[in-house]
Structure 1
Amino acid sequence: MPALYLASTSKYRQQLLAKLTTRFHTARPEVDETSLANESAEQLVRRLAIAKAQAIAAGLNAGLVIGSDQVALFNNDIIGKPHSAENALAQLRRFSGNTVTFLTGLALVNAQSGNIQVIVEPFNVSFRSLTDAEIMAYIDKEQPLDCAGSFKSEGLGISLFSKLNGDDPNSLIGLPLIRLNQMLLNEGVNVLFLDEHKGGSGLL
């Protein structure tokens, strides 16, 4: 199997990739994530997913590199990480009773051949009507300040929703595993036949 690299030091993405295999290395890509003029959210996550994977692949002779980027969209506004409880409260107030779309860009770059596979996976989250007391209790308990949209769907954030709609719930956390698995198969890698004891995760 070619070496597998995750172009991210996100603990959430590492945990997701470990569902498929523990045989991967992680590396932090040095990429400017500023959006370009007139760039749509879909174009942004596609470009950044490729850029992150290519940034790591550039220093390799061989291997497969995974890049991913995610944004939340609400009323055509790109919603980022709140970074503070006040911002998280404001975000969740806006989402109450409404639907937010998450777009996750996923790229797999073959460092040897230069081949690039890339997709953008949408996922819709519908919020139930929330009181300020509920929102503040949630923020206090889970502290979702480093999560786009101010919630952790894999945790207590599930209590905020009325409906989830998408092909792969893993994409909501940051890595569409179903599509990634197909990309790996396209490169001749079947995770079902990997010997997990011959490798492990590591940090570049």
Structure 2
Amino acid sequence: MRELVLASSSPYRRELLQRLHLPFCSAAPEIDETAVRGESPQAMVRRLSLAKAQALGAAHPDALIIGSDQCAVLDARIIGKPGNHAAAVAQLRAASGRSMYVHTGLCLLDSASGAHQLDVVSYDVRFRTLDDAEIETYLALERPYDCAGSVKSEGLGASLLEHMRGDDPSALIGLPLIRLSTMLRAVGVAVPPPATLHTAVGTSS
């Protein structure tokens, strides 16, 4: 099997990719993630997913490189990771009783040929009406300050929601495994892998 590289320093994405039982390494891509004026959220996550994968191409010239990027959208405005408590409170107050749309871009790049596959998996995340006490309790327990829109749906964040509508629950955590598995099979990588393939934990480089 060719080298598989995850272009991310996110522990969430590493944990997700480990679920496929494929050996891989990970490294943080150095790119400018500034939004382009007039760019749609879906176009932005597609562009950044490809840019992240391409950023590691020189260091891994004969590899399959996975890039992914995510954003949340409320009122047609892109919402990023809150970074701190006050920003998370503001995000959740704004989302209370409303729908937030989460777009996760995915790229699988063959660094030897430059060929790549790109896609976006989107989710409609509907919040129930929240009071400040619930928001404070959730933030104290989960501290989702590195999650787009302050939503940690795989944890206590699920208790804040009325519904989630989309095709791949792993996309909400940061890496769409259903779509990635399809991409990998398209380039000859067996998923699930054969029993003889060593399972790696995902090392950083």
TM-score by length of 2: 0.96
Q: How many residues align structurally?
A: 204
Q: Which whole-Å CA distance do the structure 1 matches of 2:199 and 2:157 have between them?
A: 36
Do residues 197 (structure 1) and 202 (structure 2) align?
no
Percent identity over the alignment? 49
Q: Which whole-Å CA distance do the structure 2 matches of 1:156 and 1:99 have between them?
A: 18
Q: Which whole-Å CA distance do the structure 1 matches of 2:12 and 2:47 have between them?
A: 21
Q: CA deviation at 1:197?
A: 2.4
For structure 1, list consecutive stretches of 5 or more residues without a partner in the other structure: none
Q: Which whole-Å CA distance do the structure 1 matches of 2:73 and 2:98 have between them?
A: 12
Q: Which whole-Å CA distance do the structure 2 matches of 1:46 and 1:193 have between them?
A: 27
Q: Which whole-Å CA distance do the structure 1 matches of 2:193 and 2:39 have between them?
A: 40
Q: Is the 8 A contact 2:128 2:161 kept in 1?
A: yes
Q: CA deviation at 1:36?
A: 1.3
- Correspondence for 1:30: 30
What is the root-mean-square deviation of aligned Cα atoms in Å? 1.2
Residue 131 to residue 31, structure 1, CA distance change in 2 (3 Å): same
**Matches for 1:5-154 after TM superposition, within 5 Å:** 5-154=5-154
| Aligned amino acid, residue 148 of structure 1 | A
Q: CA deviation at 1:28?
A: 0.7
TM-score by length of 1: 0.96
Q: Which whole-Å CA distance do the structure 2 matches of 1:65 and 1:48 have between them?
A: 13
Q: CA deviation at 1:83?
A: 1.1
Q: Which whole-Å CA distance do the structure 2 matches of 1:152 and 1:199 have between them?
A: 26
For structure 2, list consecutive stretches of 5 or more residues without a partner in the other structure: none
Q: CA deviation at 1:22?
A: 4.3
Q: CA deviation at 1:109?
A: 0.2
> C-alpha offsets along residues 31-70 of structure 1, whole Å, 9 cap, x if unaligned?
1000112111111101000000011123222110000000
> C-alpha offsets along residues 4-43 of structure 1, whole Å, 9 cap, x if unaligned?
0000010000001111124100011001000112111111
- Correspondence for 2:172: 172
Q: Which whole-Å CA distance do the structure 1 matches of 2:12 and 2:50 have between them?
A: 19
Q: Which whole-Å CA distance do the structure 1 matches of 2:13 and 2:21 have between them?
A: 12
Q: Which whole-Å CA distance do the structure 1 matches of 2:193 and 2:89 have between them?
A: 45
> C-alpha offsets along residues 107-162 of structure 1, whole Å, 9 cap, x if unaligned?
00001121110001101110011111111111111111111111211111110001
Q: CA deviation at 1:191?
A: 2.3
Q: CA deviation at 1:104?
A: 0.5
Do residues 182 (structure 1) and 182 (structure 2) align?
yes
* Superposed structure 1 runs of 4+ greater than 3 Å apart: none
- Worse-matched range after superposition: 166-175 or 189-198: 189-198
Q: Which whole-Å CA distance do the structure 1 matches of 2:190 and 2:11 have between them?
A: 24
SS at match of 2:36: coil
